[in-house]
Amino acid sequence: MALVTTTQTVTDGALFAEVDMGSDDNAPTVRATVVQASTIFYDTPATLDKAERLLAEAASYGSQLVVFPEAFVGGYPRGSTFGATIGSRTAKGREEFRKYHSAAIDVPGPEVDRLAAMAGKYKVYLVMGVIERDGYTLYCTVLFFDSQGHYLGKHRKLMPTAMERLVWGFGDGSTIPVFETQIGKIGGAICWENKMPLLRTAMYAKGIEIYCAPTADARDVWQSSMTHIALEGGCFVLSANQFCRRKDYPPPPEYEFQGTEENLTPDSVVCAGGSVIISPLGAILAGPNYEGEALISAELDLGDIARAKFDFDVVGHYARPEVLSLIVRDLPAKPATFASTSTKVEDSHQ
């Protein structure tokens, strides 16, 4: 089985590589990279410039698929309370939300067009975590692009975790896509929604083969969840997280890490990464990396999907639909629907 694991660590503009070569065979393979890097907070144009540099570096090493972390464009507001307590909000917190809203992107929009152009320029499939702006509601979203520079679609996080619910809306069943591409069936779930068994089941039922898991969770226990999903789904799991230091966020008082700010220096690590690539058989192909910003790459032997599902096909021979079944409501959930006089209105029961 062919196996190449590579970590390219970005340090002061230099790129260092460590390569572990395994045995070779004729199985089809896909070169995949997960990006471990920080947002340039409140500066979306600069973040897009950084994304292109990293994408170019990954492509130069032959990557066909590149996965970026959760909220890479727009930023993950780690440590912020947005000045909110139950029953009250502060003026400073409202202004913080205004700036965060301003750094988000519209989908579709010019930033999406640029990301699509980047994917086409470097001939890679691109999976990008963004903060999506839909009017005045924000969503934690993942965008998918093909290697020809086409925007394929998006996944909105179904269930923001804890304080994330203060600033992010909830996705619905209309954005749980799995895209059939030339390198396999690609989809994704974001951070702790990966712990939702019914969501995972829906993705398995759509035939996902390359399961992208952008995250903000750098704990060791996250690796257990990623390994479980790879084994459960018989799929490759690609988890990308940011590596951030305090200096990657605006300085206080513009931005403060509530409850811990006094203990932080500019070089304090506030998110340690842990990005990883895992095979359908549960083998760690690359990572986890906790050392700094990095490009973490591996060769995905697509034959491992069949090898794994010989043992366990969660929505195939191991399913018991006569006992257990799932209904997924995959239509958009809209607060209001308008029908013009020129549109035939169907009976509401149909």
Annotated catalytic residue, options 96, 154, 191, 244 = 191
Annotated catalytic residue, options 111, 157, 193, 212 = 157
Residue-wise pLDDT for 25-53, tens only, equals 566 999 999 999 999 999 999 999 999 99
Active site residue 157: yes
DSSP 101: H
Residue 56 contacts residue 69 (beta carbons within 8 Å): no
Name the band, by pLDDT with cuts 50, 70 and 90, for residue 6. Answer: low
Active site residue 57: no
The predicted pLDDT at position 66 comes to 98
Residues present in the chain in total: 350
Please state, in angstroms and rounded to a whole number, the distance separating the CA atoms of residues 168 and 39: 18
26 against 347, higher pLDDT:
26
Q: What is the mean predicted confidence (pLDDT) over 217-230?
A: 96
- Between the alpha carbon of residue 307 and those of residues 133, 165, 285, 312, the distances in Å are 41, 40, 16, 9
Residue 237: which of 293, 330, 171, 308 has the closest Cα? 308
Whole-number average pLDDT of the chain: 90
Locate 272 and state its tokens: 């340690």
pLDDT over 60 (residue 88): yes
CA 306 to chain centre: 25
Backbone angles phi, psi at 301, to 5 degrees: -80, 105
Residue 185: which of 153, 205, 200, 207 has the closest Cα? 207
DSSP assignments along 108-151, one per residue: SSHHHHHHHHHHHHHT-EEEEEEEEEETTEEEEEEEEE-TTS-E
Name the band, by pLDDT with cuts 50, 70 and 90, for residue 192. Answer: very high
Neighbours of 135 (CB within 10 A): 8
Please state, in angstroms and rounded to a whole number, the distance separating the CA atoms of residues 17 and 7: 6
CATH fold group of domain 4-311: Nitrilase/N-carbamoyl-D-aminoacid amidohydrolase (3.60.110)
Residue 155: which of 185, 132, 182 has the closest Cα? 132
Query: Could you state, in order of their start, the residue ranges of all structural domains in the chain?
Result: 4-311
Spatial neighbors of 25 by CB under 8 A, at least 6 apart, are: 1, 2, 301, 303
Residue-wise pLDDT for 276-323, tens only, equals 999 999 999 999 999 999 999 999 999 999 999 999 999 999 999 999
Question: Coil, helix or strand for 310?
Answer: helix
Determine if the peptide bond prior to 288 is cis (ω within 30°): yes
Active site residue 235: no
Annotated catalytic residue, options 70, 96, 111, 209 = 70
